[in-house]
Each structure stands twice: as C-alpha cells, then as structure tokens.
Structure 1
Amino acid sequence: MKRFIGFIKKEFYHIFRDRRSMFILFGMPIAQIMLFGFAITNEVNNVKIAIFDQSKDIETQQIINKISASSYFDIQQEIRSEAEIESVFKKGKVKAVLVFEKDFSKKLQTQNIGKVQVISDATDPNMANTISNYISSILQNYSQEKNKITPSAYQIQTQTQLYYNPELKSVFNFVPGVMTVILMLVSAMMTSISITREKELGTMEILLVSPLKPFQVIIGKVFPYIFMSIINAIVILVLGYFVFEMPIEGSLVLLAFETVLFIICALALGILISTISDSQQTAMMTSLFGLMLPVILLSGFIFPISSMPLPLQVISNIIPAKWFIIIIKAIMLKGATFAVIWKETLIIIGMTFLFTIISIKKYKIRLE
C-alpha cells in the first residue's frame, strides 16, 4: 500500500513539475469558460450606425439622442445624401443607416404617422435582423412616451431595407466563415504537426544536415499544404456559388490574391507553433486552443465582435481570421476593390512577416 501511495505521489509531482500539463488542466478550462461566457451572445452592443436625417427637426434630434444614449448603438457619422449609403457600407464599419423622411416632425403632428427607414448591412443576417428589431423597439418606446404627454396617438412606422443579402440567407455568412476556419486549420495546424513530427522522430536532424538548406526544408514541408489549401478554397467557393448561390460580386483575381495571402499567413503561424512545440500532441493542443477557438469565437464569424467586452475586442485584432473574413465578405458580397480593403490586407501582410521573423529567431539548427 505504501508503494502504491508513493506511486500516486510521484505522479502528482510529475504533473506539478510539467507547466504545460498544469496549463492544460487548469488554464484551458478557465480560458474556455471566459471565452464562451463573454463571446457567445446574440445581443448587440455598441454597434456602429450612421444617420441620414432629411428632416433635422426637434423630433428627429430627440430620437437620435435616445438611440445614442442607449448602449446598443454608437452613432459613427451623419451622412448628407442617399448616394453615401453604399460607400459607407463598403467601408465595413457601419452596420446600419437610420433614414428619417423629410418633414418628419410635421407629418407626425398632422398625420400622426412618421416613417423611419432602417437600412442594414445584411452580410451578417442575424446581426441585421437584430439591429432592426432593437431600433424598432427604441422607436416604439419613444412613441409610447410621447403618447403619454400628448393627446394625439403618435405612430412611428419602421421600414426595413437590407443591403447585399435581402433574403437574409445565413449561408452568405457561413461560406466565408467556414472557408476561413478550414484554411486556418489545414494550413496552420497540419503544418505545425508535420514539422513537429519530424522533430519528434528525429528525422529533422537528418534533413538539416542534407544538401538542402534549412529554408528549403521548411518550404518543402509546407508547399503541399499550400496546394491543398488552395484546392479546399476552390471547392468551397464552387460549392457556395453553384449549390448555395453565394454571389461573387468582386474581382476573382483579387479574391484569389487575398486567399493565397491568408494561406501564407496561416502557414507562417503554423511554422511558429512548430518552433515552440516538442511533440505532435503539444502542437495539436496549441493549434486547437490557440487557433480553432479564437477563429470561431473572436473573428466575427458567428458572434458580433462589437458586442463583446473591450478586452476581447482588443484580442480579436491579433487574429488573422478576423481580417480575412472582413476582406472576403467585402469582395464577395459588396464587390469591394483593393482601395476599400487595403488596410486589412496590410495587416495580414504585417502578421505574416511578424510570424516569419519570430520563427526564424526561434528556429534552431541543432535540435535539443
């Protein structure tokens, strides 16, 4: 019995000495409950909207102030013409435009009916529907408050218009998201596992002393995954276009360039993971925890980033998938040109260089 107890103590000591095991046992559950608790939400919060006020009277100003005072919306800008709506949406920051008709206050007093149009960016159907419901609720609450102090029965009618996805097809949101997840996992996770396998089996040392240079070895290891990722991307786009009628409004050349750029970024991240992993298991756990969960939860694929707490919004900025989803939606659904998505493109390029530089510094010719 003493030997058995001593054996159990040894196993506890072994676990406590291994920092990675301690992180997996206690760190991952904490991180997961925090991510799932704060990131998974269907509510809206601090959603950026624009105002097109054609009336500019007391009533419209009071409504705008009421919307601005809520925590649901952040009035980003005021536009002056209907022609600006399209360009505002293409920039990707504003998710809805609130349009007040001309003589809104006058019609409300004389006809007891005022019309407000809610134009939403429906590239995220759930988000667009939720925004419309929240604004309608605020307008209804405002009219109820006015009816308490005035004899007239004011009624504010809300008209909804959806840009880019008028039928609210959820597949328009999931095709870009699924494509991003698959490319990230195939490119990053499989690359990190492949290189770590060579290190774990001891064959990496043989490759490094071969006539091939180290960078040639790495390129040779990752090239098949570039090819497979491109094939995956083509298959997803073809299925999305022909089966689910997913539009591709923008340039195919630009879409192909951005896709290959994201694949290279994911490969660079996979190489970085391989430099800090000693085993395939470690590489897989790091990839799953460090890539899969953030890509699904913090990229804006399923849940709106603007509704998350500020720390998670900041963390989302270092996730390449977030920027790629913005790019691919802009090209496919909005027909955006490079002039619209150049900032996001530069961010992905910068991340690629950063991952590569860190990998080179951590790369060791002699494996310990």
Structure 2
Amino acid sequence: MKQLIAFVRKEFYHIFRDRRTMLILLGMPIVQIILFGFAITTEVKNVRLAVLDPSNDVISRQVIDRLDASEYFILTHRVQSPQEMEKLFAEGDVDMAVVFGTQFANNLYTGHASIQLVVDATDPNMATTQVNYASGIIADVQQEMLPPGLTPVTIVPQVKLLYNPQMKSAYNFVPGVMGLILMLICAMMTSISIVREKEMGTMEILLVSPVKPLFIILAKAVPYFVLSFVNLATILLLSVYVLHVPVAGSLWWLIGVSLLFIFVSLALGLLISSITRTQVAAMLISGLVLMMPTMLLSGMIFPVESMPLPLRVISDFLPARWYIQAVRKLMIEGVDISLVLTEVGILFFMAVVLILISFKKFKNRLE
C-alpha cells in the first residue's frame, strides 16, 4: 500500500509541474460552462406526444389526428388524468402533452375553448420549437373546422413549461458540459499519461520495479479520478451559484452516478492506452472516437430523437449519452433514482466490460 501511495504522489507531482496540463484540467471546465451559453439545436422531429381529451369531440379529434400525422409529433399515450400525465413526464416517456378543455367544440365558437400545451423544458430551445409547431397546427385546424361565414375566434393555447419555466439555456448545457469534461479528463488524459511512459521508454523501468503492474495502472488513474471529482464540484458550484441552475433531485445520487461515469471514462482511457504506442495516436483516437461523438451524438447539443436511425444506434454505445440523460433527470427534473435505473445499469455494464477488456489487453502487452 505504501508503494501505491508513493506512485500516486509521484503522478500528482508530474501533473502539478506541467502548467499547461493544469490549465486544461482545472481551467477548461470553468471556461466551457460559461461559454456554452447558447446550445445549438436542429429541427425537432419525433416528439413523443400524450393527449388528455375529456371532451372527445370531432374538433379535438381532428387536432389530435393532425398532430399525429405531422412529421414532428408521434402520438404515444392517451391519458385519463393529470396525474397520469405527470407520471409519464417523470418517467421520461413523453416530451409534450396536449390538454383539451371540456366541451371543446361547443366553446370554440364562443371563444371560451381552451387548450394547454405541457412541455418538458429541460431543453428550452427544443421546447420552444415544439410549442411553435403545435400552435401552428392547432391554428390551422381551427380555421378549417369553423363553419363558413362565422368570424374566426383565435384560441391561443396555454403553455405550461415543466422543470425549466424560465426557459434558461443553462438547464440544457450544464449536464452536457459535465459529461464532456469528465470524459476528456478521465479518458484522454489517462490514456496519454500511460502512453507517454511507453513512448519515453520508462514503462519498462516501472515494470521491473517491485510494484505490481496493477498498482502502476491505478497510480496513473487515481490522480485523474481526484481531479475529475474536483471539476465535478466546480461545475456544480458554478451551475448553482453563477448560472442559477438548481439541483432539483438528490445531490448524493447525482454524485454517485457521476463517480460511476468517471470510472467508465477511466476504463476507456486504459483501453486506449493498451492499443496505442504513441501520444499522437492516443490523442487522435480520443478525439475522433470519444470527443466528437460525445459532442455530436450524446444529446449534448443535438436531440438524439431527431437523428437518423444509424446515428441513434451509434449513440446507444456512448457512455456520455446515458450519463447526460441521467444527470438531466436527477439534476433538472428532480426525479427519484428509481427512474434512472436504466441509465445506471447501462453505465455499470459498460464499466465492467471496459475494465475487463482494458486489463486483459494491458496485461497481454506487458508479456
């Protein structure tokens, strides 16, 4: 144990001596979380729609059919109560709900008809687009269904924004930046630190020392694990006190899921280090295989639901996608951990598989 502590201390000295590395590790999270003020979004498609229609008249059914027939919405649930609708939002099964008032068709001619659009606003740009699309379709149906000669009465849908009523873009990009930073530090920096020893020829010196190879690997990984935890705390503090993004759910479960994701990222870094021999190769693999897909396919910037099927399949294999999804549920929506078990289970499975492959590959290279 004393040998492991000595090696960990040595790795900390190496990191702290390099000012450029320290700037990347500790400065980049602060810069990114401030600069990511506006998330880039694409055209919204395949929005999962729930409907609460107590009137069930010809006009309300026409509105529902028109929404379902559009390329933007998919009718997935018909609910019978507001409580059932809220449960679907909490479980992440719907993105928008349309709530009709009673006797909708009769009240339409008098101007007393009401429609409410309930939207998951954790992604404010996406929520705004969804509301605009739905409002346009509802207005078109309303004009078509009124009898000839009757003065049109415009019914403006009421909008209820869940989880992010102020429509702050920070609610969307904070979970994404958390996933990006932790992936960068744990995977990329860990792989480079181990490959650097191979490239400089010092790994052989370490391997002939009395320290077991497992302790050498752990000594390389522990400093980045600690720095990742520091960055996690920094991001959360900036989010709450500077960007005013509250932690709506359990802080302890949020930290626990983050530590699991850090472990997955470390395993990825070890895997990259086992299949590369130069720092340039490790940088290229980390950038092309990890960083770019994490930014583009994880849901950090672009909604996964709007991507083509092949890209959605690829995103299923990205750990950052499940971590960002879990953080949005725990931090922004404030759901219970039982509703994030799918994401946690996938991350745990990835961690086990990656760490087994990494150690097996690394051991084979040492022989």
Shift in Å, 1:114: 2.8
Partner of 2:27: none
Instruction: Please give the alpha-carbon distance, in whole angstroms, between the structure 1 residues aligned to 2:320 and 2:364.
Output: 31
Alpha-carbon distance between aligned partners in 2 of 1:113 and 1:266, rounded to the nearest angstrom: 55
CA RMSD of aligned residues (A): 1.6
TM-score, length basis structure 1: 0.85
- Go from structure 1 to structure 2 and tell me whether the alpha carbon gap of 1:146 and 1:357 turns closer, same or farther (over 3 Å shift): same
User: Which position in structure 2 is the counterpart of 1:122?
Assistant: 121
Go from structure 1 to structure 2 and tell me whether the alpha carbon gap of 1:294 and 1:337 turns closer, same or farther (over 3 Å shift).
Answer: same
How far did residue 210 of structure 1 move? 2.1
Q: Is the 8 A contact 2:274 2:365 kept in 1?
A: no
Match of 2:149 in 1: 151
Structure 2: distance between partners of 1:67 and 1:359: 48
Q: CA deviation at 1:112?
A: 4.6
Residue of structure 2 equivalent to 1:15: none
**Quick one: which amino acid aligns to residue 91 of structure 2?**
K
Q: Describe how 1:40-55 pairs up with structure 2 within 5 A.
A: 42-55=42-55
Where 2:295 maps in the other structure, the secondary structure is helix
Q: Whole-Å Cα distance in 1 between the matches of residues 140 and 298 of structure 2?
A: 33
> What is the CA distance between 1:245 and its match in structure 2?
1.1
* AA aligned opposite 1:138: I
Give the distance between the partners of 2:89 and 2:218, measured in 1 at CA.
40
Query: Shift in Å at residue 218 of structure 1?
Result: 1.0
In the alignment, structure 1 residue 312 sits paired with structure 2 residue 311: yes
SS at match of 1:117: strand
Residue 208 of structure 1, CA deviation: 2.2
Whether the 8 Å CA contact 1:114–1:155 is kept in 2: the answer is no
SS in 2 for 1:363: helix
Match of 2:326 in 1: 327
Residue aligning to 2:194: 195
Contact kept in structure 2, 1:205 and 1:366, CA below 8 Å: no
Q: Aligned letter for 1:178?
A: V
Distance change in 2, residues 1:48/1:257 (3 Å): same
Which amino acid letter does the alignment assign opposite residue 53 of structure 2?
D
Give 1:93 shift.
3.1
Identity of aligned pairs, percent?
A: 46
d(CA) in 2 for partners of 1:54, 1:202:
74
Equivalent in the alignment of 2:68: 68
Partner amino acid for 1:277? T
Unaligned runs of 5+ in 1: 1-39
Compute the displacement of 1:252 (Å): 1.4
Name the residue aligned to 2:11: none
Cα contact 1:199–1:367 (8 A) shared by 2 = no
1:76-91 matches, within 5 Å, as 76-91=76-91
Note the C-alpha offset of 1:253. 1.2
Structure 2 residue aligned with 1:300: 299
Is residue 270 of structure 2 the alignment partner of residue 250 of structure 1? Answer: no
Please state how far the C-alpha of 1:366 moved relative to its aligned partner: 4.6
Structure 2 unmatched ranges of 5 or more: 1-39
Match of 2:131 in 1: 132
> 1:263-310, CA deviations, whole angstroms, 9 ceiling, x for partnerless residues?
001111111111111210010011111111111111111111111111
The answer to whether the Cα contact below 8 Å between 1:187 and 1:229 also exists between their aligned partners in 2 is yes
Are the aligned partners of 1:92 and 1:326 in contact in 2 as well (CA < 8 Å)? Answer: no
CA contact (8 A) 2:41 2:126 kept: no
Mapped partners of 1:192, 1:205: distance in 2: 17
SS for the counterpart of 2:114 is: strand
Q: Once the two structures are superposed, what CA deviation does each residue of 1:71-110 show, in whole Å capped at 9, x if it has no partner?
A: 111112111111223221121231111111111112124x
1:130-184 CA distance string (max 9 Å, x none): 100010111112123224x633225332111101110101111121111111111
Alpha-carbon distance in structure 1 between the residues aligned to 2:343 and 2:50: 22
Would you say the 8 A contact 1:305–1:313 is kept in 2?
Answer: yes
**3-state secondary structure, aligned to 1:156:** coil
State the distance in 2 between where 1:134 and 1:366 align: 56
Whether contact under 8 Å (1:44, 1:307) holds in the other structure is yes
In 2: Cα distance, 1:41 partner to 1:205 partner: 48
Residues 15-26 of structure 1: pairs in structure 2 closer than 5 A? none
Q: Give the C-alpha shift of residue 125 in structure 1.
A: 0.5
Ranges of 4+ aligned residues in structure 1 off by more than 6 Å: none
User: 1:269 & 1:161 partners in 2: Cα distance?
Assistant: 41
For residues 209 and 75 of structure 1, the distance between their equivalents in structure 2, rounded to whole angstroms, comes to 64
The answer for the alignment partner of 2:204 in structure 1 is: 205
Rounded Cα–Cα distance in structure 2 between residues aligned with 1:245 and 1:41: 22
Counterpart of 1:100 in structure 2: which amino acid?
F
Alpha-carbon distance in structure 2 between the residues aligned to 1:267 and 1:192: 8
Contact 2:59 2:145 survives alignment (8 Å)? no
Q: Which amino acid aligns with 1:83?
A: Q
Using the TM superposition, give the Cα deviation of residue 206 of structure 1 relative to its aligned residue in structure 2, in angstroms.
2.1
Specify whether residues 307 and 365 from structure 1 end up closer, same or farther in structure 2 by C-alpha distance, changes over 3 A only: closer
